[in-house]
């Protein structure tokens, strides 16, 4: 397999808009494989991204696997963001796009109109502060986000009524350490008194740490629910070559 060509967006040079990858047969002929993908980016007259269509090479043709649509207020800031992903109800059904994440009534601390992926709304030049959120797992979520600058990159709060009757609140604090890893803590509170039970709280923490060469040193995923539950825990040991200083052994 080799990659023949990679192209980037002219405005967002960090975004790949085309990658062609091929398998080479013994007779020298080549055929595009499923490592190939492309993204079609649409912009309005002001240069703001209004849609991103992501395709992968599948069954000898281009299959759209994700779509992000963005609408704007009169002030030029995003008002809604709607992400759809490819879904298939059964093997006999066609693969179709279905909405899995939608943001409405968005407000912003800052934005540049160049959101290519929904996970970019709380970093860099795009810092959302509030929205009404609907997801496949939960609807009618009120989201607020703060950017404390110290300790965490952002603190995101979700508030909603689970099954329409149980007030629920989750607060996620996130810190990105760049190439060194990341840390997140989510405090989850749910009031179950409507069902004759007590309010409950759980705390989930996830930590990733890497060395200078991208080797995983530690990954922790643990939940506190009256007692600590270790969901997963991985550790890696790196031994460097004393002559070069580069990693020689990774366990």
Residues 6+ apart with CB under 8 A from 156: 122, 143, 144, 145, 171, 172, 174
> Coil, strand or helix: which one is 120?
helix
Contact assessment for residue 63 and residue 84, using Cβ atoms and an 8 Å cutoff: no
Average pLDDT, the chain: 94
Interval 125-147: pLDDT, tens: 999 999 999 999 999 999 999 99
How many other CB atoms are there within 10 angstroms of residue 242's CB atom? 7
Q: Provide, rounded to the nearest whole percent, the portion of the chain with pLDDT above 70.
A: 98
The CA-CA-CA angle for residues 222, 122, 207, to 5°, reads 20
CA-wise closest residue to 221 among 250, 187, 190, 184: 184
Interval 79-130: pLDDT, tens: 999 999 999 999 999 999 999 999 999 999 999 999 999 999 999 999 999 9
Position 3 scores a pLDDT of: 63
Contact assessment for residue 174 and residue 187, using Cβ atoms and an 8 Å cutoff: no
Interval 215-239: pLDDT, tens: 999 999 999 988 889 999 998 888 8
3-state helix, strand, coil in the chain (%, to 5): 5, 60, 35
Interval 19-71: pLDDT, tens: 999 988 888 888 899 899 999 999 999 999 999 999 999 999 999 999 999 99
> Coil, strand or helix: which one is 61?
strand
Question: Is 10 a residue whose pLDDT tops 80?
Answer: yes
Position 226 scores a pLDDT of: 81
Q: Dihedral sign, CA of 134, 140, 141, 144?
A: positive
Separation between Cα atoms, residue 220 and residue 207, nearest integer Å: 5
Interval 191-219: pLDDT, tens: 999 999 999 999 999 999 999 999 999 99
Position 39 scores a pLDDT of: 98
């Amino acid at each position: 397999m080799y990659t023949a060509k990679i192209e980037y967006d002219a405005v967002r040079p960090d975004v790949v808009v085309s990658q062609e990858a091929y398998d080479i047969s013994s007779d020298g002929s080549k055929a595009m494989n499923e490592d190939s993908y492309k993204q079609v980016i649409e912009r309005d007259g002001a240069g703001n991204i209004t849609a991103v269509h992501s395709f992968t090479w599948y069954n000898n043709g281009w299959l759209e696997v994700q779509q992000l649509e963005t609408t704007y207020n009169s002030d030029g800031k995003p008002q809604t963001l709607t992400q759809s992903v490819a879904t298939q109800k059964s093997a006999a059904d066609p693969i179709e796009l279905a909405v899995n994440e939608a943001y409405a009534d968005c407000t912003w601390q800052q934005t540049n109109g160049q959101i290519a992926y929904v996970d970019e709304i709380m970093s860099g030049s795009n810092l959302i502060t509030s929205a009404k959120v609907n997801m496949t797992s939960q609807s009618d979520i009120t989201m607020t986000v703060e950017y404390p600058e110290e300790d965490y990159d952002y603190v995101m709060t979700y508030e909603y009524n689970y099954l329409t009757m149980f007030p629920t609140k989750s607060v996620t604090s996130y810190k990105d350490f760049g190439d060194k890893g990341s840390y997140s803590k989510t405090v989850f509170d749910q009031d179950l008194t409507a069902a004759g039970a007590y309010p409950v709280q759980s705390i989930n923490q996830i930590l990733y740490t890497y060395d200078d060469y991208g080797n995983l040193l530690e990954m922790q995923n643990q939940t506190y629910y009256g007692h600590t539950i270790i969901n997963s825990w991985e550790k890696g040991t790196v031994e460097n070559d004393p002559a070069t200083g580069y990693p020689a052994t990774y366990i």
